[in-house]
């Protein structure tokens, strides 16, 4: 196990990530353990069944990844990922009624050639 303090993590996050590729990294805050960094590839977590799909779903649901990037992370075709999140009740499109109306108006203008 390797350790890094919070200021070291803040000053050089890429070094901590590089360390996490080889080993577990314990993040210390004021001489107290505060967090753990684990390289998903090195710990072979990312290759476990369902992990990519679950991670992609959570990141999409929280708005941290786009639909297309989430599908890619899940290693699924876009249409299959859309069906997957829809079955879970996660909205694929998150718009207000006003935004939907604007889109419909734009579509109508486009279709009529105006």
Q: pLDDT tens, position by position, for the chain (114 residues)? A: 899 989 988 999 999 998 988 888 999 999 899 999 988 877 788 888 899 999 999 999 999 999 999 999 999 999 999 999 999 999 998 888 898 899 999 999 999 886
Does 84 lie in the same domain as 63?
A: yes
Does 62 lie in the same domain as 12?
A: no
Q: What is the pLDDT of residue 100?
A: 87
Look up the pTM and report it. 0.66
The per-residue b/e assignment along 40-51, b for 16 or more CB within 10 angstroms, e otherwise, is eeeeeeeeeeee
Does 63 lie in the same domain as 28?
A: no
CA angle 43, 47, 50 (to 5 degrees): 120
Does 54 lie in the same domain as 28?
A: no
Our count of domains for the chain comes to 2
Q: What is the pLDDT of residue 114?
A: 63
53, 45 Cβ separation under 8 angstroms: no
Does 79 lie in the same domain as 31?
A: no
Does 56 lie in the same domain as 28?
A: no
Does 24 lie in the same domain as 55?
A: no
What are the backbone angles phi and psi of residue 93, rounded to the nearest 5°?
Answer: -115, 130
Does 62 lie in the same domain as 81?
A: yes
Q: Can you give the residue range of the structural domain that contains 111? A: 46-114
């Amino acid at each position: 196990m390797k350790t890094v303090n919070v200021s070291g993590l803040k000053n050089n996050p890429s070094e901590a990530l590089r360390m996490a590729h080889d080993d577990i990294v314990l993040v210390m805050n004021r001489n107290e353990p505060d967090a753990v960094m684990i390289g998903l590839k090195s710990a072979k977590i990312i290759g476990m069944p369902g992990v990519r799909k679950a991670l992609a779903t959570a990141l999409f649901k929280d708005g941290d990844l786009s639909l297309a990037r989430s599908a890619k992370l899940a290693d699924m075709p876009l249409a299959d990922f859309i069906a997957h999140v829809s079955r879970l009740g996660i909205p694929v499109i998150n718009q207000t009624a006003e935004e939907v109306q604007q889109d419909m108006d734009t579509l109508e203008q486009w279709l009529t050639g105006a």
